[in-house]
Amino acid sequence: MNVIAPALDAQTEMLTLLENAVAAHANVVQVRVDGESAVIETLATGTVVDARQVPLSFCAELLPAAFGLCDESDGYQYNSSRSARMTGLKVPLPKGLTMVFNQFFPARDGQRHLVARLTYDSDTCCGTCGG
């Protein structure tokens, strides 16, 4: 597992995570809490294709930045439960990606802190995310 330092710009970091996920044709990027750190995992059909460890404190930058990229994002408070869609309204999504449905959760050891589900141009929407 790679350990990465916090990026200077958390929104750029989130977009880089999405670009890497698209390159792997992954369908989920998730952040899991692991003690005093967090693990950012990229999954393709349930299989982890990339995992990086970051300080848990970095999530206080990354999650609000990810929420800020979402359509109609409003006053998100870190460590609250929210969901929001990213459709490219605020920033262009990587080529081939039509939507990212983000679910934010409070930090709990062993639990997911963020789940970002990726929808591609060729995917058929089931309607559960409002897309």
Q: pLDDT for 13-70, tens place per residue?
A: 999 999 999 999 999 999 999 999 999 999 999 999 999 999 999 999 999 999 999 9
User: Cα(25)–Cα(40) distance, rounded to whole angstroms?
Assistant: 16
The candidate with the shortest Cα–Cα distance to 21, out of 11, 30, 32, 33, is: 30
The candidate with the shortest Cα–Cα distance to 52, out of 17, 27, 15, is: 17
Q: Could you tell me which residue, 6 or 81, shows the higher pLDDT?
A: 81
CB 2 within 8 A of CB 52: yes
User: Cα(64)–Cα(75) distance, rounded to whole angstroms?
Assistant: 9
Continuous segment of H or E residues that includes residue 84: strand 82-86
pLDDT for position 72: 82
Residue 8 has pLDDT above 50, yes or no: no
The candidate with the shortest Cα–Cα distance to 62, out of 8, 22, 19, 108, is: 8
pLDDT for position 74: 78
Residue 100 has pLDDT above 60, yes or no: yes
Q: What is the dihedral sign for C-alpha 107, 61, 72, 39?
A: negative
The 10 Å Cβ neighbour count of residue 97 is 20
pTM higher than the cut 0.95:
no
- Helix, strand, or coil here: 16? helix
- Helix, strand, or coil here: 12? helix
